[in-house]
Structure 1
Amino acid sequence: MNTPPRRRQVLRAGAALAGWALAGCTPDATAHIEGGFTGTSPERGHLLREARAARQPDVTHRTHTLIAGGGIAGLAAARALRQRGHDDFALLELEDAPGGNSRGTQVGGIACPQGAHYLPVPGDDAREVQDLLEELGLRRRVAGRWQYDERHLCHSPQERLFFEGHWQEGLLPVEGVGASTLAQYRRFAALVADAQRQAHYAIPVLRSTLAPAQLALDAITFKAWLDQQGLTDPHLRWYLDYACRDDFGAGSATVSAWAGLHYFASRHGFHAPGENSDEAPDAVLTWPEGNGWLSARLAAPLDDRLRTGRVVLRIAAEREGVVVDALDVAGNRLERWHARQAIVALPLHVAARVVQPLPDALRQRAARLRSAPWLVANLRLRAPLADRRGAAPSWDNVLYGSAGLGYVDAMHQSLAPVPGATVLTWYRALGDEPGAREALLNTPWASWRDAILAELAPAHPDLASQTQRIDIVRYGHAMAVPVPGVLSQIAPWRTSGKRQQLLKAEHLPVPQFAEAPRLRFAHSDWAGYSVFEEAFTLGHAAGLASA
């Protein structure tokens, strides 16, 4: 039989997963573990693939501003509208809860993330996020200096790595590595510092300089750039690849050299072991439910203006306003919304399917965008795990060389004097794996269960016996991957002559097109990669422009 190439990719991905799982736990060892898929509804999104016959609406609504998409960008747009006293709006969200990749849940009564699990303390470029944190009481000015609430800063110990059979502090392999490895760490640190001197790397990215040096880095992969620099040490390369998979959903052979350096240069740089740094140590805000803590607070004031379980099928820009058709999944009713304007806070590949007329720049941007599937699993444990020697249990725990990205402990922020039951949230980015999206959706829950337990078993041999339940969240299009060329596409509405002014601008420009002047666009996809700061800032700007 002549198997089509795409089908062969899926079969290879499934076979690799099966082999990975078989290397681990036996059926008897895992039969007691309950669980299933939760958190997302792929079948709802796939309704857009089906031919939609002409159908009259079952109900009609009117509002001044319609927000399509209830992720962080859509929630930020709603907040900005409210801040300006604009209350006549509605927000439509596909899933049963808003927040997108920043949602939380509970497993066995313990709060845990379903996606993003932390927010780095924002720098001055992310002033919109700083204002949000001040509003939420997470930071305040004390004696002329900003101070963050220590209850929400990640408690120590923060990170550890399972390396050479034991745990070490930090995620950079250091214990037992040779002099040549340490020399390459120092060499990479110097290159990051040099990049910071040459150009301004900012979060949000639209406040970067987009200097010639950055555009040149954007033209090649991070792996190619590392090869050019002679940075071939396997320990350094593993760490840098891990960093790319963690932040961008794909490894160093896929993301651009600009993105690989941006990971470090936009924050506190890279510091080799033993270096003295004047920079403050990296600090992150985290909660048991991850960034679901933030999305819940953004959604709370919306009341009945938030409509969940809505599949947006059409956004038509007309002369006098905007018409939005959405399917109410629970009632199988077609809603028609008439609005004066709309904020499209949808992923680009969705926006390109539903916006009419489709601006050519949006079509091109969506066609070039690459997105990474992700898997997030919450493992509910009845008791603490037996631990290997070395560094103490930490918030973030990573296994060197593993396919996954490690796990975070939902009870790490707890002040309970004696450890007890907890939830471990494990992550895996699939942006580099052929056929991964189909394998993600077609692989049975039990295969994922066994694969996850097999991966973590070297560090925790009693994991299977202590695990009571595993809930798995599948994201088919979790995040944009900043492949080479993303900077040249990052903002078609922005001209080179405005770059320096934008660095000083109070608010960022909003994607908007002449073909659909009543539509404004806001989603982290427009930044070329997915982090809270990018989504929130773009959503905030769209809300202010629409108020």
Structure 2
Amino acid sequence: MQRRAFIGSALGAGAFALSGCDASRTIAGGFTGIDVARGHALRDGVQRGATPSSVQRTRVLIAGGGVAGLAAARALRARGVDDFVLLELEDTAGGNSRGGAVEGIACPLGAHYLPVPGDDAHEVQDLLEELGLRRRVAGRWEYDERHLCHSPQERLFFQGEWHDGLLPVQGVGAETLAQYRRFAQRVDELQHAARFAIPSLRAPSTSASRALDAMSFGQWLDAEGLGDAHLRWYLEYCCRDDYGAGVAQVSAWAGIHYFASRHGFHAPGDDSADRDAVLTWPEGNGWLTQRLAAPLGERLRTGQVVTRIAEMRDGVEVDVFDTATKALVRWQAERCIVALPVFIAARVVENPPELLRRAAAALHYAPWLVANLHLDAPLADRPGAAPSWDNVVYGTRGLGYVDARHQTLDPTPRATVLTWYRPLGPSAFDGTDGRRQLLDQPWSAWRDALLAELSVPHPDIAERATRIDITRYGHAMAIPTPGLRAQLGHEATVVAGRLVFAHADWSGYSIFEEAFTRGHLAGSL
């Protein structure tokens, strides 16, 4: 708790002094990856109502080049439909699954891994087979080990040293261990009572799942008598990691889904404790989205601000502001796959259908910050577990960091990039003003917060850092709040006339499998 209070006080410009870091070295950097002004152009009314400078035609138009939009494009191509155009706001496609580079070292700008998918996510399995990531050997599927996360995978800085795994185990009391076992038992029971699946559109609606959806995860934990501080910290971390908000904000369905839809929850000493394998790359899930975008060629149009989508008698019209030419272009198509976040879709769709208005009113979003920190040499380390791919500091506001060089087969110590994640949705750490904070805080304040947090396990981090590039997502992901699943429904595809809606928002939370499956299904209609 003392360290948590210390980190919290270090957000301001005095972080170096508080953390004991050497501030004499100049660290370059700034905000990158997302053009905030471009994203706000629609809100500010850019070119709305203006006369288009030209009219262009295509058979199918995809609005939005995140994972769902890219999956829809792939599905169209698989059906032999090549007459389509995909419109993307940023300069590269991929949404919050894009990759970048700092000083020539590849790193993620957002999502950084993909768990090996289960059989419910067969569309994702097919993609991985197509990309050569898995193949059938002697009747069994095998994944290319070069792309599976190398060991050691996770470690936690807790009570002054590094420990294997992210669940606090060493140095905790018997009551804490008993609560771990109790939570594991309840997760196992609920796995059978309410079938969980990824993608969630393939999970049936049961009385158990509806009851979990109706309350917050925090309320459920209280009712179960699960109040241990270490367990609650871990569950808060898990919810902030997947949903951008804490146990008081996400539904009990979401909190249990985090475990029950994949590997369960295993208490210390459980011989079956075996985490699912995950696929990861130095550039994170950008490795996947780059390969989805590559075959599109000129059909992918970047720097496009969609300002209006209207269903007409014989098709759809889509007005787009081209940020390069500063011109408004009108596209006409037979139909439109709206692969936009729901809150944006509700603004641009003319006379939005009731299902869209209802979803937009129900959804809340978590802002995120992703910082890529270039180091000119390896960091000094505290005692304990060896450096891992995922490295988390107990009790801090951030979610820790991943190391871009962890997947390399070259063991030579050299420069690397650490990617640090900080969700700003409501939680035990942050209030509800995260989006304002994200926009108002200067780059230097986030630099200081990062260095203060990571200087606890790495006291030489300010000496090794040369550059910090920060990517801001004002609406990074939908938060699965209580009652959201009931409000959104369980339709595999959301269709209104000539408009097909495809985005992870329609699942109520944001992961690759949800977005990809919904995009694939929309493109397959």
Give the Cα separation in 2 of the matches to 1:346 and 1:328: 17
Runs (4+) of structure 1 moved beyond 2 Å? 14-28, 50-54
How far off its partner does 1:28 sit? 6.3
Give the Cα separation in 2 of the matches to 1:372 and 1:301: 32
Please give the residue correspondences for 1:119-518 in structure 2 after superposition, counting only pairs within 5 Å. Answer: 119-277=114-272, 280-432=274-426, 433-491=431-489, 494=491, 509-513=492-496, 517-518=497-498
How far off its partner does 1:422 sit? 0.3
Q: In structure 2, do the counterparts of structure 1 residues 536 and 23 end up closer, same or farther at CA, with 3 Å as the change threshold?
A: farther
Give the Cα separation in 1 of the matches to 2:21 and 2:153: 34
Q: In structure 2, do the counterparts of structure 1 residues 263 and 30 end up closer, same or farther at CA, with 3 Å as the change threshold?
A: farther
1:501 matched residue in structure 2: none
The AA in structure 2 aligned to 1:256 is: S
User: How many equivalent residue pairs?
Assistant: 513
Name which of structure 1's ranges 72-81 and 435-444 shifts more when overlaid on structure 2.
Answer: 435-444
How far off its partner does 1:220 sit? 0.7
How far off its partner does 1:361 sit? 1.6
2:503 matched residue in structure 1: 523
Name which of structure 1's ranges 69-78 and 193-202 shifts more when overlaid on structure 2.
Answer: 193-202
1:7 matched residue in structure 2: none
How far off its partner does 1:50 sit? 2.2
Q: 1:65 aligns with which of 53, 60, 67?
A: 60
> Would the aligned equivalents of 1:24 and 1:453 in 2 still touch at CA under 8 Å?
no
3-state SS in 2 of match to 1:361 = helix
> Would the aligned equivalents of 1:134 and 1:140 in 2 still touch at CA under 8 Å?
yes
Q: In structure 2, do the counterparts of structure 1 residues 314 and 16 end up closer, same or farther at CA, with 3 Å as the change threshold?
A: farther
Correspondence 1:532 to 2:516: no
Give the Cα separation in 2 of the matches to 1:67 and 1:95: 15
Give the Cα separation in 1 of the matches to 2:469 and 2:262: 33
Identity rate, percent: 66
- The CA deviation string for residues 333-384 of structure 1, in whole angstroms up to 9 with x for no partner, is 1111011100000000000000012101211110110100000000000000
How far off its partner does 1:490 sit? 2.6
Give the Cα separation in 2 of the matches to 1:243 and 1:140: 31
3-state SS in 2 of match to 1:245 = helix
How far off its partner does 1:19 sit? 7.5
1:6 matched residue in structure 2: none
Name which of structure 1's ranges 44-53 and 426-435 shifts more when overlaid on structure 2.
Answer: 44-53
2:5 matched residue in structure 1: none
The AA in structure 1 aligned to 2:351 is: P
How far off its partner does 1:57 sit? 1.1
The AA in structure 1 aligned to 2:364 is: R
> Would the aligned equivalents of 2:310 and 2:349 in 1 still touch at CA under 8 Å?
yes
Give the Cα separation in 2 of the matches to 1:410 and 1:65: 38
How far off its partner does 1:42 sit? 1.3
TM-score for both structures, normalised by structure 1: 0.92
How far off its partner does 1:39 sit? 0.3
Give the Cα separation in 2 of the matches to 1:74 and 1:32: 40
2:4 matched residue in structure 1: none
How far off its partner does 1:406 sit? 0.2
Where structure 1 has 5 or more consecutive residues not aligned to the other structure, the ranges are 1-13, 495-508
> Would the aligned equivalents of 1:24 and 1:450 in 2 still touch at CA under 8 Å?
no
Q: In structure 2, do the counterparts of structure 1 residues 53 and 532 end up closer, same or farther at CA, with 3 Å as the change threshold?
A: closer
3-state SS in 1 of match to 2:129 = helix
> Would the aligned equivalents of 2:11 and 2:448 in 1 still touch at CA under 8 Å?
no
Give the Cα separation in 2 of the matches to 1:491 and 1:100: 24
TM-score for both structures, normalised by structure 2: 0.96
Where structure 2 has 5 or more consecutive residues not aligned to the other structure, the ranges are 1-7
